Every structure is written in structure tokens, then in C-alpha cells.
Amino acid sequence: MVPINQWIKIKAPATVANMVCGFDILGFAVNNPYDEMEMRLVSRTTDAAGNFNQASITIINIDNYNLPTDPEKNVAGAALLAMIEECTLVDFSKIGFEVKINKLIKPGSGVGSSAASSAGAVVGANYLLGNPFTKDDLVRFAMNGEKVASGVKHADNIAPCIHGGVTLVRSIFPLEIIALPSPTLFVTIVHPQIEVRTADARSILKQNVQLKDAIKQWGNIAGLVAGLMKGDYDLIGRSLEDVIIEPIRSILIPGFDDLKKACKAAGALGGGISGSGPSIFFLSKEKETALAVEQEMIKLYKGIGLAHHTYVTTINQTGVEIEC
């Protein structure tokens, strides 16, 4: 166990969930952007009346998003509370966690902002405690943060954030995460400066799907996984098609259809909505193509007068990183 009051630094990467056709089951981590966090164990003392002077979890925001600091309402706090419930190695009536969070991944951006905070918190806490839990345990704990954010325990952002690379969530209950080969591809992301809340993006989805659409979607998911396993980039590109979720969610994102056409014309293999949006991602074989795709993104959103941020990055192979 790391000594009391010794700070560690945590780097929690953004993630692209769904990978177009793999709703709630596929995702990958990227090297930029990422959240920065600091964390330490603290002693909990009591006053003369026996009341604790420190909470079991103290959250300090060092950004300007004014997110809740009540652990039950904060994604990192909820994840840590789930961990504390299962941890028998430490007496949490005497020891607690203090967490500083600098969110460089804007909340509501569609690139795993809530997952980064949730995953970063439990990976950091596990390190402080001497790593008693497995990565899949940490995914389970961090999913409680996703429930705070969206009302649903999903792992398509959490799993790659913790494991790194590309992951497949075969099952939630019981949890089964499968690491897939990560392609050597470049990722271009644009984040239009609007917010699409995950809960809202879920609420507009159809509850019933036509069989012909399901069959096409299953084929695309299988093709995408096969493309990753074989390193077949053209198969990956052909499989990046969503006939169920994207047609509905894309109405929330200005310029989506025109942008998709422009990015593919610029040479991208394919792409689509990142998570629930509004961010959009595209994969490219070459960095030059990824940069050309970025220019198409900038051109379109400048043209419609919508503020935006872009990133040209690569797939993060390590997940959350700890620095002492």
C-alpha cells in the first residue's frame, strides 16, 4: 500500500465507444485528449463528539465545469464507493481517498469524459491499495460512475479506458471483456461545441428493430471484429456502418451527413458518431490522410459557424497510467 498522504498522478484517456456498429460493446482508447487526476490516501480523524473530520471520499475539482463533489453524485465518487464496498483489506473508517480532478475531456463531448474520471479513480485507488483488484474488477466498479452519468451501467468506454487498445464487451452480467488487436491507424476526432447528454441520446432510440436491420448490423459487427483480428483495414472500413443507432442520433449533430461524405472522400476508411456524440471520429491508414480529414472537419464547421475542437491522434495501448 502506498503511504498515507503520498500523492500519485493519473492520466485517464478519452475513448471512442461503439465503433459505429458495435453499440455498447466495442470501444477503443485514444492518446489525446485525456483527464489529469491526483489522488492520495488520507487518515480519517474524529472530533471530540466522535464525528469524522474527513469523508471517506473527498473530491476536489480543479477545472471550471462545477461538477458535483458529493461522491454519490460524482462519477468518480460513485466508482470509488463501489470499490470500498468490496474492499476488505483496509478499514475505511480510518482511511479515505482524496481526489483532485482536472477534466481536459469536456463533459458531454462523446469521447468518454465520465468514463475517464470513473476509470482513473478506481485505477488510482487500486494502485494506492497495492493493486488487490483485477482490471475486470475495476471495470465493474467504474460502471457505477457510468450509471450516474447516463442511468445505465455500460462498459464500452470504461473497458478500453482501463485495458487500453480495442475491447469487446461480450457480456455485462457476468462481465466479460475481450481485448482485440489494435490496428495501427490514425484517429481524427472533431468535437462540435454543443452538448449531447448520453441519457438524452439513449432516450430517442427505438426499442424495436426490424430483423433485416439486425442482420445487417450483426454482419457489420462480425466484419469489424474479423477485420481487427486479421489486420484487414479495408474490411474494417467496409464494416464501419450502423443502420440502427446512427440514423437516429445523427439528427442531433449539425452537418453530420455532409461531414461523413467529405471525410470519406478525403480518404478515411470510415467512421461515425463517437459514443452518443456530438464528437465524430474517422480512421485513416496514413497520418497525411488523417490531417486531410481534419481539414474537412474544420472547413465544414467553420462554414456553418459552429465552434469546434479537433484532434489527430492514435490508439492508446495502455489505458489509464499512474505516475508516482
Catalytic site residues?
Answer: 146, 198
Q: How many residues does the chain have?
A: 324
3-class DSSP state of 15 = strand
The rounded distance, in Å, linking the Cα atoms of 100 and 116 is 13
C-alpha cell at 15: 475513448
- Which residue in this structure is represented by grid cell 462481465? 175
**Beta carbons of 146 and 78 less than 8 angstroms apart:** no
Q: Residues 6 or more apart from 175 whose CB is under 8 A from it?
A: 136, 139, 140, 155, 169
- CA of 207: how far to CAs of 109, 156, 179, in Å? 24, 20, 29
**Exposed e or buried b per residue across 63-99, where buried means at least 16 C-beta atoms within 10 angstroms of its C-beta:** eeeebebebeebbbbbbbbbbbeebeebebeebbbbb
| H-helix segments, the chain | 75-86, 113-128, 135-150, 158-163, 198-203, 211-230, 233-239, 246-249, 256-265, 287-303
